[in-house]
Amino acid sequence: MNSIAIPVSALSPCHKLPALAGLNHTPQTLLLGQERVLNAFELLCKTPNQHMFLADFAGVDRVEFIKSLMTSQTHLADQYLFSTTPHDNQRNFSWSSHCDDEKLATKNQTYQYLSGDIKRADLLGRFIDDKQKSAAENYNPGALTQCHYLFICAESLWKREGLWNLLLDILAKKEFKVHSSLPALPLNCKIILVGSNMQFSVCWVEETKFPQLFPILGEMVNELDLAQHSEIEYATWLTAVAANVNVKLNQSVLTSLFLYSSRLADHQLRFTLLSGQIGQMLAQAKAYSVSEMITAEDFQLALEQQQFRHSASEMLSAQNFDDKFISLPTDGHMVGQINGLTVLDTVEYCYGEPARITASVHYGDGEVADIERKSELAGNIHAKGMMILSACLYRIFGKDAPLHLNANIVFEQSYQEIDGDSASLAEYCSLISAIAEKPINQSIAVTGALDQFGHVQAIGGVNEKIEGFYNLCERRGLTGSQGVIIPKSNTQQLNLNLKLIESVKAGKFHLYAIEHIDEAVELLMGIKAGTPDEDNDFPDDSLYGIVQDRLAKLAGYQDEETSFFAKLLEKMKLFS
């Protein structure tokens, strides 16, 4: 049993902390890990008449990232738009690197970023048809004329359907019309739309011109893999983010920053690259700091205060458990009942909450009924998990004959829709308990997804789930027998708070990592699952042997009672 206990050293990441004093960042530091974007932008610069879509994420400081991206480019010479009159006497405009007295406008800005309430004049400029002034004096250039590279927020442009269609038309024709008295101006600007991957997919499918005009995709990544980069590189990136919000870092804050970043990345060997979110937390820590440089205590206080501001629903949930409005025992043993783990997401904040799952069985045609699904309180993924659970049950006990039982599984006191398959392990354990009539240890909560072969697979929100059950147990009083079972594949995501780690270290709380359902049922019910023989029969004293015997009784396969005459004949054989 103890062989599957998770050691304390595996409960949080272990990083090598570089010295901040020797780190120097450059304008390109924010491009750490963004090789795809750099590759795409380099191609954009070399490819005529092709434009780019930059796919970013919420939580990225878009303005600072674009600034860093542009500093990676060499200085661009000014370009001049001037009028030409060919042999047909039709007035035209063209771009040149040489200045001319008849120039209409000058392209002298490397880049510009447009977002929000974008207007037609922001793109094209304005022209006042004043006969007493020259064309150059009448024309107030827009971004398409002034900039070598123009970054545009895709969402802002999408909201203005007229501007969206106008831009696509300009890119297709490679020219744009500012005023009826002026001929069309040639386009000499690279366009980079900035938005989400979802926006790119929608535009690619729904806009016929889009794939031809924006064939270059630069996808940002929101995580840094320590298998490819070092802690020194990431610490340098952090100093660059801090500098953008006018924050100086004390050496002590690096541990807290690394742990926070790994928690956001949801992996022990990865760091988040969400510069906007990191910068916001650093700015908040500076507000709480009493010195020029923020320390670990300042950053930790900022995190605690943020949690306090966003945890109203979590506090109400805790009160419901403490007031016994929600029944969920954390000690003792019960048949057909188990503590599962869920995650509640409120967009900007998520937290773990235990859920009581119960199962009941009776004679029937082999259906494992999902009450949540039948009451339309469960999603498709949860329904899929229940089907996999049924398949797993039949694989073990229904190879040779159908199962003559019906089972009902339900999340007790659940009044909102649930989804996901992370409760399928807990549901399986409660079902086996109900069939075998063997009680489950209520001190241990369970999370994990199943496949048809009984392997326990990774789930989401593992840290929140563990901490949710731990917080409930701590409020009631830690007994030393409480704990959580998780999939072994989730151990690389563990990044638990210090209080919980100290409780595990002191033996007051336990964490177990498993790979197969048999490990879970043995730990929860204190009896060996059993190994089948060549006839797929389990030992009578094993858990699965007890389950087989119960299923046989439900099917009517138990031995018939011996008649009086059969007993008499048996005795006569003994005397002969």
State the sign of the Cα–Cα–Cα–Cα dihedral 559, 560, 564, 570: negative
Find where tokens 């739309």 sit.
193
- Report the C-alpha gap between 55 and 72 in whole angstroms: 18
Residue 288 DSSP SS3: helix
**Measuring CA to CA, which residue among 263, 333, 253, 244 is closest to residue 288?**
253
Catalytic residue from among 422, 433, 443, 503 = 422
Told to judge if 465 belongs to the known catalytic residues of this protein, a careful annotator would answer yes
Catalytic residue from among 465, 488, 508, 542 = 465
**Measuring CA to CA, which residue among 450, 418, 414, 457 is closest to residue 431?**
450
- In one letter, which amino acid is 97? S
Q: Which residues contact 323 (CB under 8 A, 6 or more apart)?
A: none
In this structure, are residues 188 and 171 in contact, taking their beta carbons and an 8 Å threshold? no
Q: Helices in 367-516 by DSSP H: which ranges? A: 371-374, 380-397, 424-436, 462-476, 498-505
In this structure, are residues 168 and 212 in contact, taking their beta carbons and an 8 Å threshold? no
Angle (CA) 484 487 493, round 5°: 90
Q: How many angstroms separate the first and last alpha carbons of the chain?
A: 54
**What is the β-pairing status of strands 405-411 and 368-370?**
parallel
The β-bridge partners of 352 are: 343
- Report the C-alpha gap between 210 and 205 in whole angstroms: 8
Mind telling me the catalytic residues?
Answer: 422, 465
